[in-house]
Amino acid sequence: MWYAKEYHPIQVGSIDGTDKIPHDAAVERAQQVKYRPPKLSTDPTKTIFVGRLNFDTTEDTLNQHFGQIGSIESLRLIRNQVTGASEGYAFITYDTTEAAKEAYQTAHQTIIDNHVILIDYERGRIMEGWVPRRLGGGFGGKKESGQLRFGARDRPFRRPM
């Protein structure tokens, strides 16, 4: 298996993975939320998340870049519902799990429209207990703001020295 199966908001923000109580209000909120991912017809094991896109990147550009890896079943560039402008991320579903895995391994940190992109698997429907960032969960954040989240591809957990 090339992806994690479980998400726990407290341990995501823990430096050594041993925390038992929430370290900030967002994590407390994430524990209380009962998030249900949307019902979609695509297979989550064949879907990748593409983040940090240039806001000018189009579906055609993504299709051209990721179509070289494998046959694409569906591609959805997420747009603002009011303005129609790109939100800077997309979901791409391949015909096979092997193509999605290859995209995960090879396309991470490649450059599209002068932006270094992030590739990850779709966590919402795969990881048990996943809570998105907007509801207090997720990964990422900045040390300066006190929003520490570990375990994602860009901020993997590292044991303290």
Report helix, strand and coil shares of the chain as percent, to nearest 5. 25, 20, 55
pLDDT of residue 1: 41
| Whole-angstrom distance, CA of residue 156 vs CA of residue 151 | 4
Same domain, 96 and 114: yes
**Measured between alpha carbons, how far is 141 from 104 in angstroms, rounded to an integer?**
22
The answer for residues whose C-beta is within 8 angstroms of residue 143's C-beta and 6 or more apart is none
Its pTM stands at: 0.77
Q: Are residues 62 and 100 in the same domain?
A: yes
State the pLDDT at residue 145.
54
> Which positions ≥6 away from 73 have C-beta within 8 Å?
42, 46, 93, 94, 95
CATH number at residue 53: 3.30.70.330
Instruction: Give the pLDDT confidence score for residue 8 in this predicted structure.
Output: 64
Reduce the DSSP state of residue 112 to 3 states and report it. strand
The answer to whether residue 153 is domain-embedded is: no
pLDDT of residue 99: 97
The range of the structural domain enclosing residue 25 comes to 9-37+125-145
Tokens, residue 130: 């996943």
Same domain, 58 and 15: no
135 and 89: one domain?
A: no
pLDDT in tens, the chain (161 residues): 455 666 766 666 666 667 777 666 767 777 777 878 888 889 999 999 999 999 999 999 999 999 999 999 999 999 999 999 999 999 999 999 999 999 999 999 999 999 999 999 888 888 887 777 777 777 765 555 555 555 566 666 555 55
Same domain, 20 and 60: no
Structure tokens at 126: 């795969």
Residue 73 resides in a domain: yes
Q: Total domain count for the chain?
A: 2
